Amino acid sequence: MLNRVNEERFFDALIVGTGIAGLRAAVDLAGAGLRVALVTKDDPTDSNTGYAQGGIAAALSEEDRIELHLQDTLRSGDGLCDREAVRVLVEEGPERIQELIDWGTRFDREGTRLAFAREGAHSRRRVLHAHGDSTGMEIVRALLSRARSFSSLAFFSRTLSVDLVLEGERCTGLLLLDETTGEVGLARAGSVLLASGGAGRLYRETTNPPQATGDGMAMAYRAGAALADLEFVQFHPTTLFAPGAPRFLLSEALRGEGAVLRNRQGERFMLPFHADGELAPRDVVSRGIVQELERSGEACVYLDLTVRDADFLRRRFPRIHETCLRFGFDLARDRVPVHPSAHYFMGGVKTDLWGRTSVPGLYAAGEVACAGVHGANRLASNSLLEGVVFGARAAKTMVSEAVASPSTTSPFRDMELLAPSSAEAEALTQKLSQLMWAHVGIRREGEALRTALEQIRSWQGSARRQPVGRAPIETRNLLVLGALVTQAALDREESRGAHFRLDFLEKQDSWRRHLEYRAPAPAEDLPRFG
């Protein structure tokens, strides 16, 4: 039985995602008088932004300079950052943060001055935080309040984006599934912004929420957009590793405040890997942990912040402190078991410095996008900054390049999805995440990558046409991203940043380039008009 397309709506702009990039763009688009729809598959507060603990980085303190932030970002990116994109990020960041403050974001202060923390690979204390370790939640709160003040902005909650709609070569809308009613509808617009976040659910061990299934990247790929840098997946070194506990992120700011990593014998082990020890770039720390576990045969290592007293920890890290206590660990007295988990995608839908993708009418910002600011390894706390800077830039471009929304009703009324069945989808997603963790994780090797790619393609080949549903949509998207990430990891025959090949251990100048992937043609089941 096919899903029936029951409704068609028209807007000036559509935004997929209600994290920092989508909300920041929405404020400017609605402020310019455009009719805007924000689409999110759960509640508007559910996004990776809300999970961001550590903070947002910017050269705002008296001891800091923009040039230092630039150099730290380039150094972490391991030779693959776009210098112009990084300059945009660090130069426009302070103004964007001041806007957040003006709109009611309550960053932590020491007296009347903003409080700054230091995280790994930063040469200065430049990371702003809110409520200790709830920075993302506070930014979402302030931006949602600002966005909801515009009557021209509509929210579509519990609504899944199924696919982009093309009219000729131009993106003119979205095919949507309303999970509340089960109905499929069309939303048409002059422009579409993808701000849908990453794809951490590709991996068995991840800090990401269940929503992070790579929807925006997969939709863009099926529509013919170029994707880049997909081999660079960042694994956060320290997530809670205890029976019954979720892979709760233990912020890098803990190490910035003095936490060290120890093995079961209580010995520090990171200094032989890097002069900065626990404050080395995330890829170095993650690999150091994996190597120590391999040497010791243990399942985890331990984060030790017992140099700090309980009052400081409750004040500085209230959410982390409370979560650890819930699972039986007191940060002030106990060493907490930790293990790396998949955390952030440096790659994504390729854009220019103004959010434009290779498909006319389609824009992207935030983790879903690849503007070149992160290179091979993201500097801590640059992700929220990227979202607010490039969300604003994309909105400015969409306003200046605005075209009329399609005004005629399309003849498109029935649709079906080429995907795993609902019954198969959950089991297949689990198999995929196990495969990706085992073969396309922190350390990679050519033969294992080829085996993984063959398996993923086999799963894709077993897809059948069927009605639209959440599980088939998400699994289809994860399979697309799984194949692309694996192909990119196989293609890059060197080790650089977060991409580490056991069979190509050295970094090579000949690989100082970006790998791009584009579907040979728009997918056969993509909604098309004209």
Active site residues: 282
- The residue behind tokens 């939303």 is 187
- List the structure tokens of 60: 């705002």
Q: What is the rounded distance in angstroms from the CA atom of residue 519 to the CA atom of residue 99?
A: 39
Contact 253, 117 (CB under 8 A): yes
- Cite the beta strand spans of 23-115 per DSSP E: 36-39, 56-57, 109-110, 113-114
- The residue behind tokens 């984006």 is 161
Nearest-5° angle of CA 140, CA 319, CA 73? Answer: 60
- List the structure tokens of 144: 């949602």
**How would you classify the pairing of strands 348-350 and 369-370?**
parallel
Non-local (6+) Cβ contacts of 511 within 8 A are: 492, 493, 494, 496
SS (H, E, C) 310-340: HHHHHHHCHHHHHHHHHCCCCCCCCCEEEEE
Q: What is the rounded distance in angstroms from the CA atom of residue 527 to the CA atom of residue 173?
A: 10
Q: What is the rounded distance in angstroms from the CA atom of residue 348 to the CA atom of residue 346?
A: 7
- List the structure tokens of 50: 């809300």
Nearest-5° angle of CA 310, CA 314, CA 317? Answer: 120
Question: Which residue from 136, 126, 159, 128 is spatially nearest to 15, judged by alpha carbons?
Answer: 159
